Amino acid sequence: IDFAKASFKDFENIEHYSIQQRADIHYEFLQYMEKKGHLNYRLLGSSGCGPMITLENGDKSGMDRYISLVSNDYLGFTQHPKVKEASIRAIEQYGTGAGASPLIGGYYSYHKEIEDKLCEFFNRAPGSAIIYNTGYTANSSSLMSLLQKEDIAIVDMGVHASVYEGIQLTNTKRFLHNNMDDLERILKMVQHSYRTKLVIIDGIYSQDGDMAKLPEIYQLARQYGALIMVDDAHGIGVIGSKGKGVLKHYDMMDKVDFITGTFSKTFANIGGFVVSNPHISAFLQYQSRQNAFSATSSPAVAGVTTAIRLLDEEPQWQKRLWENIDHLKSGLINLGFDVGTSQSAIVPVKIGDPHKTSELGKILLEQGIYTNPILYPAVAKKDARIRMSVMATHTKAQLDKVLEGFEFSDKKLHIAKIKY
Ligand code: PMP
C-alpha cells in the first residue's frame, strides 16, 4: 500500500491478509498520518459539547481551548439548563439504566413520552413513532425489516451511511444527488419490476448542507407508485417554522411515508426515531431486530422531550442560529472561499485536494479553531473539504476569529477559489 495515496477505506479488505495483519498495516498508516500531522481525528475533548471545547491532544502547542465547529448540537441545547434538569430529574426518578430491551421490560414512561411528543411534533396519529438507541439504527434497522428481496430502495447518492447499511439485503439503485432526471429514469425503469419501491432521501445532506428537492421528489415518487422516506437529522431545529424541519419548510408534513431522525443533534441527546403510522410502528417494535433485542435508552434520554418543547417555547435559538450561519457564510464568501450549496447550519469550505484540506485543518487547529477535514470515502476523492457546524450559541467574536483563521491560512495555502 502506498501510504501517500491511501485512504482509510483501503484497509477494509486487503486480500489474503489476516485480521491481525490488516490491523498492523492500518496501524502503520495511522503512525504515518500522525507523523505528517494529518491525523486530526478522534481528538480528546475534556469539556462539554459547546461553542468552545478543551482538547487534550489538539495541536500539541500547549493551547487547550478551541473554538469548536464540530458539534451538531445546533441550538446549544446540550447545555440548556431546562434540558439538563429534565435528564437529571429522570435519572433521579428512574436510575441510570433501563435494564432490558423494550419487549421484555425495558419500555418506560420516559420513552413513551418522547414517542408521544414526536407524534405531536410531526402531526401524526398517536402511536406513529418508535424510538431507537441511535439515529444510525433508526435508519439501518428499520430499513432491514421493512424492505425484502422483492423490493427496491432508490436512494439519493448523498444519503447517510446508515441508510446504505440498511439496504444491503434488498435491491438498490442510486440516483445522482438531487437530480430529478436521474430519479425519473430509475423510477421508470423499475416501476413494474418490484413489490415495493422506496425512495430514500435526507432532508438536509450531511456533507454539503443542501436541501432535498422534496416537492419534485414527492411528485415523481407518487407518479411511479413509490413510497418516500426522509431522514431529517440535520433539518430539525434548523429549518422550517419552529424548527420543524424540511417537511414543514415545504408544507409537506403529512405527505411522506416515513420520517426518520436523530436525538444527537438539535435534540441534544442520543437516540433516533422512525415516524410513520401506528401499524408500521407496531411492526417495527417486534420485527426490527436492533430495537427488539437491544436494551432501551437510559433515563438521561428524557431531556429530549424538553428539547422538543423548547423548539416551540424558545424560538430565539433558531433565530440566533440563522444570524450566525449568515455571518459565517457571508464572511467566507467575502474571503473568496467556496461554501457550495449549503442551506443549513452545515457549512463546508470546499478545497478539493485532500492534502491541502488536511493541511488547512491543521493550520486552523494551530490557531485555536477546531473543524473537521472531510476526505474520501466520506466524500468523493476530488471533493475534500473542511466541514463546519454552526451553533446558535457561537458568539460573533468567535465566528470573526474563525474568519481570521481562514484568511491567515489562505496566505499560506492559496486555497480561496473565487476572487471577487
Ligand atoms: N442520519 C444522518 C443524515 C446523519 O448525519 C447521522 C449522523 N451524523 C445519522 C443519521 C446518525 O445519527 P446518530 O448520530 O444518532 O447515530
85 and 176 both lie in a single domain: yes
Q: What are the cell numbers at 27?
A: 496501524
Q: Which residue CA neighbors atom 15 of ligand 1 most closely?
A: 135
Q: Are 377 and 8 in contact (CB under 8 A)?
A: yes
Q: Which of 292, 313, 334 is the last residue of a domain?
A: 313
Q: Which of 284, 313, 342 is the last residue of a domain?
A: 313
188, part of any domain: yes
418, part of any domain: no
User: Which of 23-32, 53-62, 167-176, 368-377 shows the highest mean pLDDT?
Assistant: 167-176
Per-residue pLDDT at 420:
41
- With the most atoms of ligand 1 within 8 angstroms of its CB, the residue from 70, 136, 167, 389 to mutate is 136
15 and 32 both lie in a single domain: yes
CA distance 75 to 317: 6
The pLDDT mean for the chain works out to 94
307, part of any domain: yes
151 and 240 both lie in a single domain: yes
Instruction: Answer yes or no: is pLDDT of 63 > 90.
Output: no
Domain containing residue 197: CATH number: 3.40.640.10
For residue 77, report the distance from its CA to the centre of ligand 1, in Å: 17
230 and 287 both lie in a single domain: yes
Distances in Å between the Cα of 25 and the Cα atoms of 28, 42, 170, 228, 358 are: 5, 19, 33, 42, 21
Reduced to 3 states, what is the DSSP secondary structure of residue 388?
A: strand
In ligand 1, the atom with minimum distance to the C-alpha of 272 is: 15
Element (H, E) at 131: strand 129-132
Domain containing residue 58: CATH number: 3.90.1150.10
| Domain total in the chain | 3
Residue 418 pLDDT grade (very low, low, confident, very high; cuts 50, 70, 90):
low
For residue 130, report the distance from its CA to the centre of ligand 1, in Å: 16
110 and 232 both lie in a single domain: yes
For residue 208, report the distance from its CA to the centre of ligand 1, in Å: 14
207 and 321 both lie in a single domain: no
pTM over 0.90: yes
Residue 274 pLDDT grade (very low, low, confident, very high; cuts 50, 70, 90):
very high
Reduced to 3 states, what is the DSSP secondary structure of residue 173?
A: strand
179 and 239 both lie in a single domain: yes
Residue at 139: amino acid letter: N
73, part of any domain: no
- pLDDT digits 0-9 by tens, 76-92: 999 999 999 999 999 99
CA distance 234 to 73: 10
In ligand 1, the atom with minimum distance to the C-alpha of 206 is: 5
CA distance 415 to 335: 10
385, part of any domain: yes
- With the most atoms of ligand 1 within 8 angstroms of its CB, the residue from 162, 230, 260 to mutate is 162
CA angle 112, 115, 118 (to 5 degrees): 150
The candidate with the shortest Cα–Cα distance to 193, out of 209, 178, 171, 208, is 171
340, part of any domain: yes
Instruction: Answer yes or no: is pLDDT of 247 > 50.
Output: yes
Pocket lining for ligand 1, CB < 6 angstroms: 134-136, 139, 160, 162, 202, 206, 231, 233-234, 262, 264, 272
Q: What are the cell numbers at 198?
A: 422506496
The lowest-confidence range among 14-28, 105-119, 232-246, 303-317 is 14-28
ipTM over 0.95: yes
- Cell numbers 443542501: residue: 210
| Chain-centroid distance, C-alpha 6 | 25
Residue 3 pLDDT grade (very low, low, confident, very high; cuts 50, 70, 90):
confident
In ligand 1, the atom with minimum distance to the C-alpha of 270 is: 15
- pLDDT digits 0-9 by tens, 180-232: 999 999 999 999 999 999 999 999 999 999 999 999 999 999 999 999 999 99
180 and 300 both lie in a single domain: yes
Q: Which of 313, 347, 368 is the last residue of a domain?
A: 313
For residue 13, report the distance from its CA to the centre of ligand 1, in Å: 25
298 and 196 both lie in a single domain: yes
- With the most atoms of ligand 1 within 8 angstroms of its CB, the residue from 160, 258, 269, 297 to mutate is 160
CA distance 81 to 92: 16
126 burial via Cβ count (<10 Å: 0-12, 13-18, 19+)? exposed
Instruction: Answer yes or no: is pLDDT of 137 > 60.
Output: yes
- pLDDT digits 0-9 by tens, 285-321: 999 999 999 999 999 999 999 999 999 999 999 999 9
For residue 36, report the distance from its CA to the centre of ligand 1, in Å: 30
- With the most atoms of ligand 1 within 8 angstroms of its CB, the residue from 206, 229, 266, 294 to mutate is 206
292, part of any domain: yes
355 and 274 both lie in a single domain: no
132 and 279 both lie in a single domain: yes
For residue 59, report the distance from its CA to the centre of ligand 1, in Å: 27
For residue 161, report the distance from its CA to the centre of ligand 1, in Å: 8
121 and 181 both lie in a single domain: yes
75, part of any domain: no
- pLDDT digits 0-9 by tens, 152-164: 999 999 999 999 9
CA distance 391 to 76: 6
CA distance 413 to 420: 18
**Phi/psi-derived region of residue 47, left when phi > 0, alpha when psi is between -120 and 50, beta in every other case:** beta
Residue 183: which domain range? 80-313
